[in-house]
Amino acid sequence: RGTASASLTNIKVNKAQQGNPLLKAFKGVSWEYASPLVPDYLVNSTISVFFLSLKYHRLHPEYIYLRIQKTDGLANQASFDNGSCNILMVIVDIENHVEVLQELNLYCIMNNLSLMLGWNFEECAKYIVACKQGLDNRATNVKAIKGIDNDSPSLEFKTRFENVVTRVSRVNKTDALNLLREFGSFRALALESMLGQKLEGMNGFGEKKIENLVKMFEEPFVYNRLEERAE
């Protein structure tokens, strides 16, 4: 078990996570309890993870918001700035999850958090382990999670961005490039779209195209269990 001086060679684990089946699912990495610790898991000095069960959230909706508020003024832990990646890892363990995920997704966007979803403890553990094992290229790892490339978007990033936004009716490749130049990241685009800002003044974006783009971010997140079973 870890202490307050535990090394970042291992994943630091909040003692409140004792008994969480997620810990047994960690493969290929070392972890240790640490105190004091505000997030549930501290992968390194730039990546922190809060863990949430939707079943628990339904009973105690204020819990996660109060936990995250405590991150203000932290020392020696991942801070909420442009160089950090703060993850809300959610295990989807209830059937009617669409509305609550919309709420959590909006909260994450407004508070510089990256939302990750898993449908079992093993899947959630794999995401955290992947963050730890990818630390040899820390900057790339953080940008991959947050979906950003601030200075000069790579060809791969441009292609992925284009593939997503051109799925929207009437949005073409030229529109996608203009959106990337204007907003710089998918997160910024999502934020501006929901706030209804900037899009109206862009060349090539009429009322219907803006309506379609905004609709993409407002549609509910739906996990297709039937497709998974078919595979």
Comparing 2-6, 77-81, 118-122, 135-139, the range with the smallest average pLDDT is 2-6
- Whether residue 87 is found in the same domain as residue 23: yes
Q: Which domain holds residue 115?
A: 11-146
CATH number of the domain encompassing residue 197? 1.10.150
pLDDT tens by residue, 12-31: 999 999 999 999 999 988 99
CATH number of the domain encompassing residue 27? 3.40.50.10130
Structure tokens at 26: 């960690």
Predicted TM-score of the model (pTM)? 0.58
- Asked, for residue 1, whether it belongs to a domain, the answer is no
- Whether residue 61 is found in the same domain as residue 116: yes
Residue 41 · residue 17 · CB < 8 Å? yes
Q: Which of the listed ranges 22-26, 104-108, 160-164, 218-222 does the model predict with the highest average pLDDT?
A: 22-26
- Whether residue 72 is found in the same domain as residue 52: yes
Write the single-letter amino acid at 230.
A
- Whether residue 167 is found in the same domain as residue 60: no
- Buried b / exposed e along 60-90 (16+ C-beta atoms within 10 A): eeeebeebbeebeeeeebbbeeeebbbbbbb
Token pair 């932290």 in the structure block, residue? 74
- Asked, for residue 162, whether it belongs to a domain, the answer is yes
**C-alpha to C-alpha distance for 159 and 153, rounded to whole angstroms:** 10
Give the chain's domain count. 2
pLDDT tens by residue, 85-117: 889 999 999 999 999 999 999 888 888 889 999
